[in-house]
């Protein structure tokens, strides 16, 4: 620790900021901000598991830090309603009973998610609007309008006793937003002129030069697709990309096609967005998925879930011809209007190949301009840095390479300013301390991933190791019967295998393995044979050694001893 840091620590209290997720991955976005006895958390996101996480349904951040401060945890602040920012909220609520702040659309999306978990938190959901300010202890949170791929997204300006910190959330600079609600440049500039202690800025698209572009940029490509498609038009996108849904609804009306929302996520989002006025659908345009067969294929557009190749999504079932209401023909066109989230490439490729087998035409952003990112590119990120001119700059969201590049861009951009900008490349679990002079990494707290298997249960490392073990080397279950009184083995041990490649017949290694068990039991004393825990351990050790030498494999061995 430097002398300068020691001086800072003497000037208690300090503002403490701890990233709990989103730094090192695309998803799990979560950050805690604390001043004395008040802690607020910004977002609580989830992410979908990689293929090697066998059987895992969802990944959420490790909440240990917040659970240790449960009495001080006063509020959850949501920047917007995408899964990577709200997907873990139902799990946070097990140890949190305070208010949750967000835009009306964000809270409506969250409410349906909470209902799936059987959680009624309606009285704790507090709707806020751009330029609103809420006081939480000695912290005041100000909500700033930013543009993204869905309406009503916020950046946060948190006014603290040592200065203002800004968290951008996810953003891009859309000059022609579909709803006419523009990025709040004026307030960012005002805050920058008044002085900003720290900026935590989205780094997702820092590797893309120039500007990202408007959501309306996809209209021209989709007009061509609508005009040239003879059969059904099937478009998959993120269900929460409400702007994209509105564009497709508008085009459907223009080209006299009915719109069917297919998949639970699409149906729920369209209903919520329509109820709140964020999605406008002309009367008679929308039909149920069960009504698709009642209309000529050339007069229907289906908006479906499954852009990331999720196995049970609507598009995956359509691709293998297993959907009750949607079947593809060679006249149909399937459009992927989304980006590939890193890690999902194989799943998406699998779905694309199945669609190709159905004979349908496939269009993605590599063929036509059918997708625009919701994240700002390099010039937009530089523009925000120039407006805010923070004392400290902390890149967030994305892998290390994105955040380190964002840091380099920030360093080049601010090197000629009158006052030096401290640039901090933080990691999940880093404890950042701030006073009026600047900030630094002071400590480390537990942070990481919690694997969810099923609706509630967390998945431990041992369970995941066992699943990998089973996948790689298979399972052997030796079943034997031991006489309770004599300790003698009754009959020949039976070996049940799953996932283990073994030959059958007289020379089968399973026969030798059975003989090995008998020899092991014969050399054991009566006391050992009747101590089933000890015998199971000895059998497991000897069989693992046997299969390693004989087959070069290390199967999971689970002996079953029946007492007779």
> Taking a C-beta distance cutoff of 8 angstroms, is the pair 70, 51 a contact?
no
> Taking a C-beta distance cutoff of 8 angstroms, is the pair 452, 459 a contact?
yes
CA nearest 193: which of 201, 203, 185?
185
Distance CA 315, CA 304 (A): 6
**β-sheet with 58-61: strand ranges across:** 58-61, 449-452, 458-459
Residue 526, classed as helix, strand or coil, is helix
> Taking a C-beta distance cutoff of 8 angstroms, is the pair 337, 237 a contact?
yes
Instruction: Using alpha carbons, list the distances in angstroms from residue 508 to 441, 502, 539.
Output: 60, 7, 19
Q: How far is CA 319 from the centre of its chain?
A: 24
Known catalytic residues are 202, 375
CA nearest 177: which of 155, 149, 197?
149
Residue 219 corresponds to which tokens in the numbers above?
């209209």
Distance CA 73, CA 88 (A): 16
| Burial of residue 13 (number of CB atoms within 10 Å: 0-12, 13-18, 19+) | middle
* Strand ranges in 337-488 using DSSP code E only, listed in sequence order: 361-363, 392-396, 422-423, 430-435, 438-444, 449-452, 458-459, 475-482
Residue 258 corresponds to which tokens in the numbers above?
């009915």
Instruction: Using alpha carbons, list the distances in angstroms from residue 503 to 208, 508, 512, 546.
Output: 54, 5, 12, 15
Distance CA 508, CA 397 (A): 54
Return the residue matching tokens 């998406």.
Answer: 348
């Amino acid at each position: 620790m430097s002398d300068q840091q020691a001086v800072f620590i003497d000037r208690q209290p300090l503002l403490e900021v701890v990233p709990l997720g989103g730094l090192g991955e695309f998803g799990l976005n979560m950050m805690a901000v604390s001043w004395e006895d008040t802690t607020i958390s910004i977002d609580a996101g989830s992410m979908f598991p990689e293929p090697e996480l066998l059987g895992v349904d969802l990944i959420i951040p490790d909440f240990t830090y917040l659970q240790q401060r449960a009495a001080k945890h006063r509020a959850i602040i949501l920047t917007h309603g995408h899964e990577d920012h709200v997907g873990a909220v139902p799990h946070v609520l097990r140890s949190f009973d305070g208010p949750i702040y967000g835009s009306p659309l964000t809270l409506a999306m969250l409410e349906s998610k909470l209902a799936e978990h059987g959680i009624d938190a309606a009285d704790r959901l507090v709707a806020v609007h751009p330029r609103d300010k809420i006081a939480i202890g000695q912290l005041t949170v100000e909500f700033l309008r930013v543009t993204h791929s869905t309406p009503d997204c916020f950046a946060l300006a948190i006014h603290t006793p040592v200065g203002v910190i800004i968290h951008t959330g996810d953003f891009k600079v859309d000059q022609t937003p579909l709803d006419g609600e523009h990025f709040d440049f004026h307030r960012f500039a005002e805050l920058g002129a008044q002085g900003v202690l720290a900026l935590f800025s989205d780094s997702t698209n820092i590797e893309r030069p120039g500007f990202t572009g408007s959501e309306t940029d996809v209209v021209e490509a989709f007009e061509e697709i609508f005009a040239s498609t003879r059969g059904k038009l099937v478009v998959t996108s993120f269900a929460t990309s409400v702007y994209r849904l509105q564009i497709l609804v508008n085009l459907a009306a223009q080209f006299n096609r009915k719109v069917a929302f297919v998949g639970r996520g699409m149906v729920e989002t369209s209903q919520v967005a329509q109820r709140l006025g964020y999605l406008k659908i002309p009367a008679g345009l929308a039909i149920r998925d069960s009504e698709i067969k009642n209309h000529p294929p050339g007069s229907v557009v289906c908006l479906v879930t499954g852009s990331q190749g999720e196995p049970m999504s609507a598009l995956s079932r359509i691709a293998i011809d297993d959907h009750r209401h949607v079947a593809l023909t060679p006249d149909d066109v399937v459009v992927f209007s989304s980006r590939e989230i890193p890690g999902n490439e194989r799943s998406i490729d699998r779905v694309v190949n199945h669609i190709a087998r159905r004979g349908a035409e496939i269009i993605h952003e590599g063929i036509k301009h059918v997708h625009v990112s919701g994240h700002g590119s390099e010039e937009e990120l530089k523009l925000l840095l120039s407006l805010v001119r923070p004392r400290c700059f902390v890149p967030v969201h994305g892998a290390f390479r994105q955040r380190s590049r964002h840091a380099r861009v920030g360093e080049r951009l601010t090197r000629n300013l009158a006052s030096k900008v401290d640039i901090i490349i933080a990691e999940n679990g880093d404890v950042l301390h701030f006073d009026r002079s600047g900030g630094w990494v002071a400590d480390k707290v537990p942070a990481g991933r919690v694997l969810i298997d099923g609706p509630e249960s967390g998945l431990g490392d041992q369970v995941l190791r066992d699943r990998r073990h089973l996948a790689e080397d298979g399972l052997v279950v030796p079943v034997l019967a031991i006489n309770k009184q004599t300790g003698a083995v009754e009959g020949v041990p039976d070996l049940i295998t799953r996932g283990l490649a073994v030959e059958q017949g007289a020379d089968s290694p399973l026969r030798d393995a059975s003989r090995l068990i008998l020899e092991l039991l014969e050399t054991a004393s009566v006391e050992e044979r009747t101590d089933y825990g000890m015998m199971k351990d000895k059998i497991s050790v000897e069989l693992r050694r046997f299969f390693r030498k004989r087959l070069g494999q290390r199967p999971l061995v689970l002996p079953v001893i029946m007492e007779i």
